[in-house]
Amino acid sequence: MPRIMIVPLLFGCLLFTAPAKADEIGSGESAPGRQEQALTALQHDNALLSRQVADLETIPSINADTLALKSCRRLKEIAADVKTQRQSMADCESFVSWMTANLSGYSRYIQAGSVAAGFAKVLPIPYAGQASLLTKFIAQGVLSLNAASVSISRYLATSRDFVARVDALDHAAPAVKAKEIADISRLADQQLRRDMNDARAKLKSASELSSSTLSFLESLNHYVGSTDEYWSRTKSFVTRKDADQKEKGSLSQSIQNLKNRAGSFNARLKNFEKTTEKDESLIASLRVYDELIRDLTVKHASLNSPAPGTP
């Protein structure tokens, strides 16, 4: 607390207590003696107060430069996470593209199971026997994957800009560094966080889509492993020139490929979600630091500006 604020406050309190201390002195003493003792007590208290003020002035205080340094450290911590996310995002993008290309291939099994109404009802298909709704499931799945692809591209672009600007802080001139830290902090809060969360949501939808598709294909594979009814009733949809046994092998291979790639994708998605949650807190602290820096800057300018009427 500034010296100019503490001294008058405590000195005023001492003035109010002075009469009480004077009254405590024996009534037999002369008035000049009581006044001298009261003055001595005041001088002692004032000396003590001066030492306390000096001690307070030695306590480090937080200023705009200190907060800017803290913001810079937070930015570098977020940038380290983003670099890791960007490496994983390339694999996620590859899975989304692969899933998009293969979803239409899986649709023939779904459509075949749908038209085989006599036994499709025993399969865990959301709309068993309703071919039009199953077709919509495939179409909506493609739309979902396309949205995930767009979201990934947007996040990669934003994160590339963010990382480049954070890395450049080490070479920035002191005169522009504080402003650049503030600008990057706002970029993280207003754009990076939004694109990061959007990518997480879209990738989560892609994960749920792959899980639903895998569940159906595994159930279908289990069913056809115990009977040839599926193949005999849907041959025109799934076999073409291939033999039934080859088609069964193709279904099993499709399931295994989807299981392997979805497992790897989900593991990367889980790590992405963890770092996103962590970076949410770090970005929130950047917002607080930025607000405090603005307040301190305004107060500093106000204290150093000349009083009205001062030449």
Determine the structural domain holding residue 35 and report its residue range.
3-58
Based on the fold, state whether residues 180 and 297 are members of the same structural domain: yes
Based on the fold, state whether residues 165 and 106 are members of the same structural domain: yes
Based on the fold, state whether residues 246 and 274 are members of the same structural domain: yes
Q: Are 174 and 276 in contact (CB under 8 A)?
A: no
Would you say residue 311 lies in a domain? no
Would you say residue 137 lies in a domain? yes
Name which of 96, 90, 150, 89 is nearest 273 in CA terms. 89
Q: Tell me the Cα Rg of the chain.
A: 36
Based on the fold, state whether residues 47 and 103 are members of the same structural domain: no
Would you say residue 310 lies in a domain? no
Based on the fold, state whether residues 35 and 105 are members of the same structural domain: no
What's the pLDDT score for residue 18?
A: 44
Based on the fold, state whether residues 10 and 144 are members of the same structural domain: no
Would you say residue 16 lies in a domain? yes
Based on the fold, state whether residues 25 and 156 are members of the same structural domain: no
Total domains in the chain come to: 2
What's the pLDDT score for residue 105?
A: 72
Would you say residue 309 lies in a domain? no
CATH of the domain at 232: 1.20.1170
Cα 70 to Cα 55, 74, 179, 181: the distances in Å are 26, 6, 14, 10
Based on the fold, state whether residues 261 and 222 are members of the same structural domain: yes
Q: What are phi and psi of 44, to 5 degrees?
A: -65, -45
| Tens-level pLDDT at each residue, the chain (311 residues) | 444 444 444 444 444 444 444 444 445 556 667 777 877 877 777 777 777 666 655 555 667 777 878 889 999 999 999 999 998 898 999 999 999 888 877 766 666 555 554 444 545 444 444 445 556 777 788 899 999 999 999 999 999 999 999 999 988 887 788 889 989 999 999 999 999 999 999 999 999 988 888 877 777 676 666 556 555 655 555 554 444 445 556 777 888 888 999 999 999 999 999 999 999 989 988 888 878 877 776 665 555 555 555 55
Based on the fold, state whether residues 218 and 251 are members of the same structural domain: yes
pTM of the model: 0.66
